[in-house]
A and B are shown apart, each in its own frame.
Chain A
Amino acid sequence: MKSDLLRFNEISRRSFVERMAQAAFGLSLLPYLPGENLFAAEAVAANPAVARGPGFGKAKAVIMLQLSGGLSQIDSFDPKTGASKGPGSAVSTKAGFQVSSFLPETAKVADKITVIRSMTAKVGVHEPARYLMRTGFEKRGTIVHPTLGAWAQNYLGPSHPTLPSSVCVNRPSNHGNGFFPATMSPLPILDPGEGLPHAVSSTDASIMEQRLALLSDMDRKFTGSVKDSSVAAYNDFYESTLRLMKGKDLECFDLKKEPESLREKYGANRFGQGCLLARRLVEGGVRYVEVESGGWDMHKDIEGGMEDRGLEFDTAFAALVSDLESRGLLESTMVVVATEFGRKPQFDGSGRGHHPGVFSCVLAGGGAKRGYVHGASDEAGGHVASDPVSVGDLHATVAYACGMPIEQGVMSPSGRPFTVGNKGKPATAVFA
């Protein structure tokens, strides 16, 4: 199959879409055949050039926590003293590094996580920066890039027979499949407490079956005469939705199946419940879950913001890491704390401006070292001092952890070559 991947510019878009739709599990018209992932990692085995060092392929699932608006590194994972100091203070952890006093619960699990303090980017505008963090590519007007979840589905195949391979929580499904077919876009869960709404058939099974048969008869004329990939994608969505409705995996979306005490531990808010849902989904077989938290654009009142959003994050993140650990899932699940960019070292007494030059991200599990700091910012927290990690590098790192053939490119339907993380280099030092 790999040869086909490399010859995409020679085959038609129609053929591309059909092939990809077949590869997209959960969403294909073909029955699920384990071991027959059309674009699977076998390509890696056939390509000795791909490096396979420590940590490669250890992460079977990824939970991406996206803090939208720009997490202040100094007020979270990279505390500073002197002029840059914010409203919080630095607290020590048993891992030997410090975090901000706004993250007391995270401090307790510091010995399980890797902090990357040398993230750096050039984009300081929200939407393009969010796009960059989601896709690993700078936003262009000419093409839409896929998220890591879609890349993984492309390279590794679907992660489960009926469940989707990607889910995004607390956000709609834009920034998803990119140039891969719409069937690789994440399933959006807007309210984790509600799970997947309307998944139960609105009428009894025999009527539903007749309706569906009639639907397929009556729509055939239209779908047959209209040659369009987006219409085709809708056909596929119907098939996969029906399969999901019939399957028993719907329970994965139901937080009511979790003990009340655990739900409280994650925090009674959308982000906290989203993190718990992410754990349930990963446990059930979903490979890639993004949970979004909004409200991190703290131009003003960082103190209030960190007491509010910061507390929600701190509670949920620590609960998630501990919960995964106690279930034996942390080694096979990589939790990534990502954001749009950092915030300026200059503290005006209230807030801080956008600062892509240096910021922090966090990896926990999935083969990442425990109690480790990768890279450093300078004394003021304004520039990278050592081991810079670009957003593309971060993507390559996560892709490497998942066992994706990061050096092997794909050709987009428009004939342009791309690699996951845009030729970024994995920061292999983070792996144990």
Chain B
Amino acid sequence: MKRTPFLLCATFLMTSVALLEAAPGKKGKKRRAGGGEVAVPADQVPAASISWHFWTASSGEKLEAKFRALENGIVTVEKRDQKIVRFPIARLSGADQEFAKICKSAQPRPPMAQEIITKAAARIDDSINAGLKLSSTAPNPPTSDAQFVRRLYLDAIGRIPTGEEANSFLTDPSPDKRAKLINTLLNSPGYTMQMYNWLADMLRVKDDYGKGARAFLYEDWLKDQIAMNLPWDVMVRDMLTADGKLNENGAAGFLLRDAQMPLDGVSNLLTTFLGANVSCAQCHDHPFADWSQRDFYGMAAFFGATDGYHEDVYRTSRRLVKSGDISMANQKQVAMLLVGNAYNLVDLPSNHLKFPDDYQYKDAKPGESVKPELIRWTETTKANDAFPMDDVKPSKLRNEFAAWMVHPENPRFAANIANRVWRKVFGIAVQEPVSDLDDPSQASNPELLAQITTYMKQAKFDLREFQRILFNTAAYQRRASEAPEDPKKFRFQGPTLRRMSAEQAWDSIVTVTSGGEADQLLLRRGDNLQKTVIPDNQINAATVTRVLAELKADGIPMRSGGGGKKGGSINPRALVGFYEGGKPEIRSGLLLARASELQQPAPENHFLRLFGQSDRLVSDTNTTDGSVPQMLQLMNGPVQEMITGDSKALVTARKSARPAEQISSLYLSFLSRQPTPEETATATAAMGKGLGLTDLAWVFLNSREFLFIP
């Protein structure tokens, strides 16, 4: 599968202009051909970005590679072996930081002008205000700067600000400081981490696909796409059309996730990408909605020629051991090696999907072959540009499906992602649940849903620009409200009051412990996986033995996990040379890295899981409910050890001489605000009675104010 992300830049050129036009998606646009990107003519590609360059790290290390992108403070390059590598720009020498910026400036991909952003935000506010008026709801008062800085850091880069960062915002007198902070944060490495966490919950990203088959390359691929800020439609299309093995092509990891249950996979992807509530229709006509089982099978047939899991490849391991060609002692390693090769996305010569044996409706017979057919939602969409499709060769079924799915005129694709990003920012989607967009008139504010759908299309599915708009709305910058029991009744008088997500809480604790450093630590685990690829026609004792020996010689262990039971350790080879800027520290048995860089999902006993990180079996299952083990973790567990040990927050506070300054420093580090005089008095009094700064740190960690975002 070819991917030429850099060439997509041209699609951004028109973004700014388009937002000024009122009318969404004009008729008569040509459907994108095949894979569908618009190429920049070769003579317009800046010279710097196509030539090889020796990149020098501030530590002196060198790496030869081509520039690919500089987004979010992360440089992405491609090495001679075509591997994509990314690292924080801060790790480069001063000269190469400049060079990266020159490469970037040559890319025809300017961000949207602030004027456009402000205008779009204002129009969204108009729609929200109209909705508020209809329901006679008053808008919430605006947030204080302290509330804003904390909320925006959490929503944009997934962690609270350090005391220093909070203070510099609070003391900045400039009137446009909020918009400036939005721009700064959206262009920093933490944005990539935050987005990855969000996607990982939605796409059910996990390290292990079973029997030790590892999906590290898929995880790295997702991070690459976010780091290069590739548009959502391109990402989704690439996932749906990828070919190849799990240990070879990261993009294939999405469909391979459900290779053992392909029908569930189709149901999941329709729900995730289109908000189509089809899971019931997999087995019978939907009892309430319009989905028939036949509709479901028609859609599933686009994946009917695709095969993902090849049990015969995996079973070879048993055969090799039984035949005596491989020693019993190596059985587990061989099985793990081969299972990675057994996950291989290929298209067969024919579509083999048939109606199930218990099919009970008159529109088809059990066992009959299923003809691929697109769903339409309403009759009027039939004339839609996204729909026309000729007879499709089995090998092209997925490509056709993907082209339809991500087409701007697909009735649900843009609405679905706009609605989901809205929920990420405001806490509740315009239409709930996000898994059911079948009837957009059910949205709490249908006009608002239509409007953000239009903006998503006009932003060319650039999720970062779309969020820039949302963060700039007055509605986002108001105080939070309690989420109502029935989310349909919420009118966005402000965002909803939320507990930090598991990832936000963990990443904030890491920040309090070690400062913002963890943002610069991009761990990669997929690099070694490509060494485990064995072509299907070479799966025999000799090759398997050779590959195992090579892996051993390279010091690459063939064992599952790689993070230890508590997530404290991680394969040191995850940190490879060039971008090894700083090794992650381990404190109280926990690796001080951002959640996005740890095991996926984290081990069950890890802070992240106790605080509601999804087990990644089902989409969108992160939770923020409380529990007794959470309290025990905060009161007595390893995170309070980290915080009360020599955490960055404590070290910073101790630099001040006077207790009042120390107290104020801790308030900034933990709560992103200055204490009131009463609070200073209370804390000073407690310190006079024998409590120390470490006790104060413990109290902050255990406070409701730390965990909840007002």
Q: What residues of chain A have their CB less than 8 Å away from a CB belonging to chain B?
A: 13, 122-128, 141-142, 164, 172-174, 176-177, 179, 182, 185, 187-188, 190-191, 194, 196-203, 207, 210-211, 213-215, 217-219, 221-223, 225-231, 233-235, 237-238, 240-241, 244-245, 297, 299-300, 346, 354, 356-357, 382, 412-414
**Which among B637, B695, B704 has the highest number of chain A CB atoms within 10 Å?**
B704
Q: Is the CB of A124 within 8 A of B282?
A: yes
Give complex CA distance A122, B281 in Å. Answer: 11
A201–B634 CA distance with the chains assembled, in angstroms: 11
Residues B686 and A234 in contact, CB atoms below 8 Å apart? no
With A202-B641, A223-B704 in contact, is A413–B485 under 8 Å at CB? yes
Query: In whole angstroms, how far apart are the Cα atoms of A198 and B588 in the complex?
Result: 13
Q: Mark B667-710, 1 if CB is under 8 A from A, else 0.
A: 00000000010010011001001110001101100111101101
Give CA–CA (A357, B283) in the complex, Å: 11
Could you say which of B25-33, B326-334, B429-437, B522-530 contacts chain A? B429-437
In whole Å, how far is B504's beta carbon from the nearest beta carbon of chain A? 15
Residues of A within 8 A of B676 (CB): 221
Q: Does A233 contact B626, Cβ atoms closer than 8 Å?
A: yes
Question: Which of chain A's residues have a CB closer than 8 A to the CB of B485?
Answer: 13, 179, 412-414
B702 partner residues in chain A, CB cutoff 8 A? 211, 215, 238
- Taken together as a complex, chains A and B put the C-alpha atoms of A178 and B280 apart, in Å, by 22
A225 and B679 CA atoms in complex are apart in Å by 15
> Shortest distance in angstroms between A432's beta carbon and chain B's nearest beta carbon?
36
Please name all residues of chain A whose beta carbon is closer than 8 Å to the beta carbon of B264 when the two chains form the complex: 125-126
Those of B398-443 within 8 Å (CB) of chain A: 432-433, 435-436
| A-B contacts, 7 listed (Cβ < 8 Å) | A127-B618, A174-B625, A187-B628, A207-B690, A211-B695, A214-B691, A234-B707
A401–B597 alpha-carbon span in the complex (Å): 48
Min CB–CB distance B479 → chain A (angstroms)? 10
Q: A125-B264, A199-B632 are in contact. Are A215 and B627 (CB under 8 A)?
A: no
| Cα distance A201–B637 in the bound complex, in angstroms | 9
**A127, A191, A241 pick with most chain B CB within 10 angstroms:** A241
B311: chain A residues at CB < 8 Å are 300
Max count, chain A CB within 10 A of own CB: residue among B488, B689, B702: B702
| B692 closest partner in A (C-beta) | A207
Beta-carbon contact of A211 and B698 below 8 Å: yes
**B704 lies within 8 A of A234 (CB):** yes
Minimum CB–CB distance from A126 to chain B (whole Å) comes to 7
- 8 other contacts beyond A187-B629, A228-B708, A299-B260, with CB at 8 A cut-off? A141-B432, A177-B625, A198-B637, A201-B635, A202-B640, A214-B691, A346-B357, A382-B358
Other-chain residue from B357, B436, B640, B710 in contact with A141 (beta carbon distance below 8 A): B436
In the complex formed, the residue of A with least CB distance to B497 is A228
B703 touches A125 (CB 8 A): no
Instruction: Say how far B626's CB is from chain A's closest CB, in angstroms.
Output: 5
Query: Closest 8 A-B residue pairs measured CB to CB?
Result: A141-B433, A241-B631, A222-B705, A202-B636, A198-B636, A124-B283, A198-B637, A198-B632
Query: What is the distance, in angstroms, from A305's C-beta to the closest C-beta of chain B?
Result: 12
Smallest beta-carbon distance A164→chain B, Å: 7
The answer to whether A214 touches B683, judged by C-beta atoms less than 8 angstroms apart, is yes
Residue numbers in A under 8 Å from B284 (CB-CB): 122
Chain A hits for B707, CB < 8 A: 234
Contact of B690 among A210, A227, A234, A382 (CB under 8 A): A210
| Complex-state Cα separation, A172 to B698, whole angstroms | 26
Residue ID in chain A nearest B639 by CB atoms: A198
Residue pair A219, B705 in contact (C-beta under 8 Å): yes
Set of chain B residues within 8 Å of A122, measured between Cβ atoms: 283-284, 287
* Residue from A211, A226, A245 in contact with B710 in the complex, judged by beta carbons closer than 8 Å: A226
Q: How far is the CA of A299 from the CA of B259 in the complex (A)?
A: 12
Q: Is B247 an interface residue (CB 8 A)?
A: no
Q: Which of B280, B626, B682 touches A237 (beta carbons < 8 Å)?
A: B626
Shortest C-beta distance, B242 to chain A (Å), equals: 23
- B703 interface neighbour in A176, A219, A233, A297, Cβ under 8 Å: A219
Q: Specify the chain A residue showing the minimal Cβ separation from B702.
A: A215
User: Contact at B624–A230, with CB atoms within 8 Å?
Assistant: yes
> Within 8 Å CB of B352, what residues of A?
none
| Chain B residue nearest in CB terms to A201 | B636
A233 contact set on B, CB distance < 8 A: 625-626
- Smallest distance from the beta carbon of B217 to chain A beta carbons, Å? 24
- Min C-beta distance of B669 to chain A, whole Å: 15
Closest to A213 in B: B686
Distance, CA A213 to CA B682, complexed state (A):
11
Given contacts A228-B708, A230-B624, A231-B704, contact A190 B497 (CB under 8 A): no
User: Which B residues are CB-close (under 8 A) to A191?
Assistant: 604-605
In the complex, residue of chain A having the shortest beta-carbon distance to the beta carbon of B604: A190
B609 at the interface (CB under 8 A from A): yes
Closest B residue to A27 by CB, please name it.
Answer: B628
B695 touches A207 (CB 8 A): yes
A235 to B637, CA, bound (A): 19
- Is B316 located at the chain interface by the 8 A CB criterion? no
Task: Give Cα A128 to B267, complex, Å.
Answer: 13
Contact of A127 among B497, B617, B698 (CB under 8 A): B617
Q: How far is the CB of B534 from chain A (nearest CB, A)?
A: 22
Does B40 touch A at the CB level, under 8 Å?
no
A218 touches B679 (CB 8 A): yes
Chain B residues whose C-beta falls within 8 Å of the C-beta of A207 in the assembled complex = 690-691, 695
User: Are A234 and B682 within 8 A (Cβ)?
Assistant: no
Contact of B629 among A197, A238, A382 (CB under 8 A): A197
User: Are B609 and A190 touching (Cβ within 8 A)?
Assistant: yes
For B488, list chain A residues within 8 Å (CB). Answer: 142
Q: Which residue of A lies closest to B267 (CB)?
A: A125
Contact B625 A238 (CB under 8 A): no
- Residues in A with CB closer than 8 Å to B636 are 198-202
Contact A214 B699 (CB under 8 A): yes
Contacts of A142 in B (CB 8 A): 432-433, 486, 488
Nearest B residue to A230, CB-CB: B499
Complex interface: chain A residues within 8 A of B691 (CB): 207, 210-211, 214
> Judging by beta carbons under 8 Å apart, are B623 and A174 in contact?
yes
| Residue B261 CB within 8 A of the other chain | yes
Chain A CB within 8 A of B482 CB = yes
C-alpha gap A210/B264 in the complex (Å) = 53
Cβ–Cβ < 8 Å partners of A173 in chain B: 625, 627
Any A CB within 8 A of the CB of B621 = yes
Nearest-Cβ distance from residue A284 to partner chain B, whole angstroms = 15
Q: Which residues of A lie under 8 Å from residue B49 when comparing CB positions?
A: none
Complex interface: chain B residues within 8 A of A174 (CB): 612, 621, 623, 625
Quote the shortest CB–CB distance from B601 to chain A (angstroms): 10
In the complex, A122→B286 CA distance in Å? 11
